[in-house]
Structure 1
Amino acid sequence: MDLPILDLVVFLVYMAAIVLFGISFSFKKRTALEYTTGGGRLPSWAIGMSIFATFVSSISFLALPGNAFLSNWNGFVFSLSIPLAAWIAVKYFVPLYRNLQSESAYYYLETRFGSWARIYASICYLLTQLARMGAIMYLLALPMNALFGWSIPMIIMCTGISVMVYAMLGGIEAVIWTDAVQGIVLIGGALLCLVVILFSMPNGPGEVITIAFEADKFNLGSFNFNFVESTFWMILVYGLFINLQNFGIDQSYIQRYITAKTEKEAVKSTWLGSLLYVPVSLLFFLIGTALFSYYQAFPDLLPADLKLAENADKVFPYFIVSGLPSGVTGILIASIFAAGMSTVSTSINSSATVFLSDHYRKYIHKNATEKQSMRVLLISSFVMGILSIVVALAFNGVTSALEAWWALSSIFSGGILGLFLLGFVVKKASSKAAAIGVLFGVLVIGWMSLSPIILNGTSIEGFKNVLHTNLTIVMGTLTIFIVGFVLTSLFKSK
């Protein structure tokens, strides 16, 4: 399918403008601390928009409407866990990291359990970010390839290099300000698309609701306490743990707490970024449901191959190209890229910060000069950007990139949320208890992630994990916390 010239121009102008806007921050003379924290002078609304944009990726932009189109609103339950996680964050996590005066999220773990905890957590973070960036860029390339025939490797390399250039040169200021712009673009694009769908219905916008209700599209899932299937409670528990990990131990979020002028501003930005995601995710689910009603009203407009369950994620991109006026399509494609670019740029900058703070200054050159530190930040940003492109290219040909990402993120997270909660809640937890807890946690994560693959069809199939895949992070976190807590009590009694 050929993209009209006007849409192509809109898309290319947007991409060029974002890259140039990000690069413009490189003309400021900065120290390494300013490169990683923005000198603590960024406004709360921009930081909040950046937190929001980090939440939203191309996975969200394509997968949420696809999920709603295919099934129901069960996935929206994930968003319902965010307010509770945000409340815990602003009450406990933001003050903790603001008072530590370190740009690293993992310095706290070192103060509690020693250097091994900091090394373990930071390496887990770097591996998770590589998998995340690779998955996002690959999933971003899929619909573009299907709709326009663009080469998947070409899309991945162009997107990766564009983001890498401004994230590397502009530092955290470029990331936050471009995130703020891209957050506005993707919200505006999604709203515009929903309005077009609603007013394209034969009998007006109300017909969307009528058709959707008849098909039970607004169902939030079963309320049974079943953790093998995707029930309401399973998604709620999974969402709470994922969001606690985001707010409590993810460098991408902790770094934004520090960029704010004051603790009060940091709290405001955290509330803005987290709570904004709830209605926007609702917007994405509405789009998916509206698309279902639209193609029920106009069944001949949807190609037969897109009616297959495995192609649900491609329905929204197809509508963008075939159902929107020329010019508007370019804006929506830019919105999809905005969602992916904002997340990737954040990962590149935060990963470079982790490498400098947790590894280079700690073990390679303890008294590094500003010039040396800046060089390390630039080089590590470049290396992470290149590696993320390589990982994205490696995803090419994977049967399900989304499932591969879920498996990798569960393994690479390493249960570091459990380690953080153990140190934060159990004040007397020892390094030895924490280390044994981590060992047990890693074993549980490995068993839950790999046993369905390794043991499937074998004589010991009864030992494979039958719980839902999303619960891997939950069980890993709980194992580390509970084992560490019990051992702390035993060591204390002895």
Structure 2
Amino acid sequence: MNNLPIIDLVVIAVYLLAMVLVGVYFSRKNTSTDAYTKAAGSIPSWAIGISLYATFLSSNTFLGVPGKAYGANWNAFVFSLSMPLAAFIAAKYFVPFYRNHKTVSAYTNLENRFGAWARSYAVVCFLLTQVARMGSIFFGISLTLQALTGLDMSVIMLVTGVCIVVYTVLGGLEAVIWTEVVQGLLLTVGAVIVIGTLIYNTPGGTDTIIDIGLRDNKFSLGSFSLTDFSSSTFWVILLYGFFMNLTNFGMDQNYVQRYHAAPSAKEATKSVWLCVWLYLPISLLFFVIGVCLYAYYDVNPELLVTVKEQAALERMGAGGNLAGTMNVLTPADYGDKVLPHYMVNHIPVGILGLIVSAILAAAMSTISSGMNASATVFTEDIYKRYINPNISDKGNLRLLLICTGVFGVIGMSAGIAMIGVQSILDVWWTLSGIFAGGMLGLFLLGITNKKVGNSDAMLATGVGIAVILWMTFSYLLPEHYAFLRNMLHANMIIVVGTMAILLVGNISQRLRPKA
């Protein structure tokens, strides 16, 4: 087992304690449901913008992005490049829409538009997306802390999860937002420190890193082919990023709640743009970290032996040959493990505790946000809709507290189930594309064509779900049915599923006999 120096342990412990105390402090303000879910609309736009930015910059970004850049190139950065267009649509249409309708849930309006089934479907998609997101983040943070401490990943998830649950349950949305402001800043500082040490420790510094990156095509954004949608090309990631970010800004309860936390629609719009202009350059830093790591270990290949051994042991199973398995590994197979390995061995004492706190911050910001949003959706769209519509405000607040904790436990369980996956980023992108595609398509259908009716939407959603299920699971078909398999890249699931719903809904509306 590795042992962190006492200074680093103290830094981490102080940070975790501070987050819990923040929850205790804000618990005094949570005297109503409105205060717990909307922070009573009193948060300034700059704080909301930083909190949105911190939600984007999860531990998946801190670990997954450098891992992808190390194992491949900057292709995944195209996701960030798609954000401004999605933000423009959100600022122009989505923010005013939600502010005008007042309801804290993002999905109440779907029932007003199409009926209870549409609201329930979107709620199920959202909750599954949140479980996938929280699980992948719990897994990512445990991966790093395991490299630092040698503790079992399940134990790490349990300990960190308890801290997250305590401050989120006690503090509500206001605690989530203000802790995310601190976490976003800490995460950015952590990234800058890692880059600085990498440049300092690499012989030749920046020149060596750029030369090696250019030599091995690490700065590539991917193929620009307009005919290839079966691999991770520039256009595939751009389309995926646009539809995924449109879902985030337009349908994700995490973001919609923050629109309501701002004093006005104008301030909420400012927060969206602040999030974008912060995320674009800072996300680039994590791709730079990936290239720096690649160059550092290219110059010092002997230092990779431990990383390769760990990846080989996870892959080969019982009775496998360690040396043989190590020989067939590619950088993509162990990319997620390189940054934790570097941190353990090359970050100075004291600074390492700060970096680990930054990763904890990244995980905590997204998980706490997901817990709060999931609890809000469950109480508003399930409990109050189907079980007890007349629950008192006090009873509703108590239910929110309980549900927040329950969703934290579910997220931890999902993280434990993901132990052993190859790429955090790939898992999250795939699962989010599956769950979010139908939800986004239904929402866009409702606001883009006022003539579309309930039957049109139901037919379109059914077709969309069928398309998403086929694209996701057709690879399981026997070899003699190989011609029926989906030939598109997995990131195209949300794109095709959304477009199928929009297309079928509009065609159905035009063909439907007029009353």
Q: 1:450 and 2:453 equivalent?
A: no
Q: Which moved more, 1:284-293 or 1:21-30?
A: 21-30
Q: Which moved more, 1:73-82 or 1:104-113?
A: 104-113
Q: Counterpart of 2:419 in structure 1: which amino acid?
A: N
Q: Counterpart of 2:352 in structure 1: which amino acid?
A: T
Q: Within 5 Å, which residues of 2 pair with 1:170-209?
A: 170-209=171-210
Corresponding residue for residue 156 of structure 2 = 155
Corresponding residue for residue 316 of structure 1 = 339
Q: Within 5 Å, which residues of 2 pair with 1:380-395?
A: 380-395=403-418
Match of 1:440 among 449, 453, 463: 463
Corresponding residue for residue 37 of structure 1 = 38
Q: Which moved more, 1:402-411 or 1:3-12?
A: 402-411
Per the alignment, in what secondary structure is the counterpart of residue 393 of structure 1?
A: helix
Q: TM-score, with normalisation over the residues of structure 1? A: 0.96
Corresponding residue for residue 277 of structure 1 = 279
Corresponding residue for residue 137 of structure 1 = 138
Q: Within 5 Å, which residues of 2 pair with 1:66-77?
A: 66-77=67-78
Q: Which moved more, 1:35-44 or 1:382-391?
A: 382-391
Per the alignment, in what secondary structure is the counterpart of residue 217 of structure 1?
A: coil
Identity between Structure 1 and Structure 2 (%): 48
Corresponding residue for residue 255 of structure 1 = 257
Shift of 1:491: 1.3
The alpha-carbon distance between structure 1 residues 493 and 335, as it changes in their structure 2 partners (threshold 3 A), is same
Match of 2:487 among 462, 466, 469: 466
Corresponding residue for residue 83 of structure 1 = 84
Q: Within 5 Å, which residues of 2 pair with 1:45-84?
A: 45-84=46-85
Q: Within 5 Å, which residues of 2 pair with 1:332-371?
A: 332-371=355-394
Q: Which moved more, 1:293-302 or 1:83-92?
A: 293-302
Per the alignment, in what secondary structure is the counterpart of residue 479 of structure 2?
A: coil
C-alpha separation in 1, matches of 2:122 and 2:220: 38
Provide, for residues 140-187 of structure 1, a one-character-per-residue CA deviation record: whole Å limited to 9, x for no partner: 212322342111111111121111111111100011011111001000
Shift of 1:26: 0.6
Contact kept? 1:23, 1:169, Cα under 8 Å: yes
Q: How many residues get paired?
A: 492
C-alpha separation in 1, matches of 2:117 and 2:182: 39
Q: 1:330 and 2:353 equivalent?
A: yes
Corresponding residue for residue 247 of structure 2 = 245
Provide, for residues 203-222 of structure 1, a one-character-per-residue CA deviation record: whole Å limited to 9, x for no partner: 24333222222222211111
Q: Within 5 Å, which residues of 2 pair with 1:115-130?
A: 115-130=116-131
C-alpha separation in 1, matches of 2:494 and 2:45: 31
Contact kept? 1:410, 1:449, Cα under 8 Å: no
C-alpha separation in 1, matches of 2:124 and 2:493: 19
Contact kept? 2:440, 2:498, Cα under 8 Å: yes
Corresponding residue for residue 506 of structure 2 = 485
Shift of 1:38: 0.4
Contact kept? 2:22, 2:171, Cα under 8 Å: no
Q: Which moved more, 1:230-239 or 1:401-410?
A: 401-410
C-alpha separation in 1, matches of 2:48 and 2:425: 28
The alpha-carbon distance between structure 1 residues 398 and 233, as it changes in their structure 2 partners (threshold 3 A), is closer
C-alpha separation in 1, matches of 2:273 and 2:424: 31
Shift of 1:336: 1.1
C-alpha separation in 1, matches of 2:40 and 2:361: 25
Corresponding residue for residue 447 of structure 2 = 424
Q: Counterpart of 2:408 in structure 1: which amino acid?
A: G
C-alpha separation in 2, matches of 1:37 and 1:71: 41
Contact kept? 2:139, 2:418, Cα under 8 Å: yes
Provide, for residues 243-283 of structure 1, a one-character-per-residue CA deviation record: whole Å limited to 9, x for no partner: 01111111111111110011111011111112211111100
Q: 1:408 and 2:431 equivalent?
A: yes
Shift of 1:492: 5.2
The alpha-carbon distance between structure 1 residues 463 and 289, as it changes in their structure 2 partners (threshold 3 A), is same
Contact kept? 2:23, 2:169, Cα under 8 Å: no
The alpha-carbon distance between structure 1 residues 321 and 219, as it changes in their structure 2 partners (threshold 3 A), is same
Q: Counterpart of 2:277 in structure 1: which amino acid?
A: L
C-alpha separation in 2, matches of 1:204 and 1:245: 40
Q: Counterpart of 1:313 in structure 2: which amino acid?
A: D
Shift of 1:393: 2.2
C-alpha separation in 2, matches of 1:436 and 1:190: 47
Q: Which moved more, 1:160-169 or 1:399-408?
A: 399-408
Per the alignment, in what secondary structure is the counterpart of residue 303 of structure 1?
A: helix
Contact kept? 1:82, 1:275, Cα under 8 Å: no
Per the alignment, in what secondary structure is the counterpart of residue 219 of structure 1?
A: coil
Q: Counterpart of 1:429 in structure 2: which amino acid?
A: V
Corresponding residue for residue 233 of structure 2 = 231
Q: TM-score, with normalisation over the residues of structure 2? A: 0.92
Q: Counterpart of 1:132 in structure 2: which amino acid?
A: R
Shift of 1:493: 5.3
Shift of 1:404: 4.6
C-alpha separation in 2, matches of 1:394 and 1:212: 35
Contact kept? 1:410, 1:445, Cα under 8 Å: no
Contact kept? 2:147, 2:344, Cα under 8 Å: no
Provide, for residues 319-374 of structure 1, a one-character-per-residue CA deviation record: whole Å limited to 9, x for no partner: 11211111111111111111111110000000111112112222222222111111
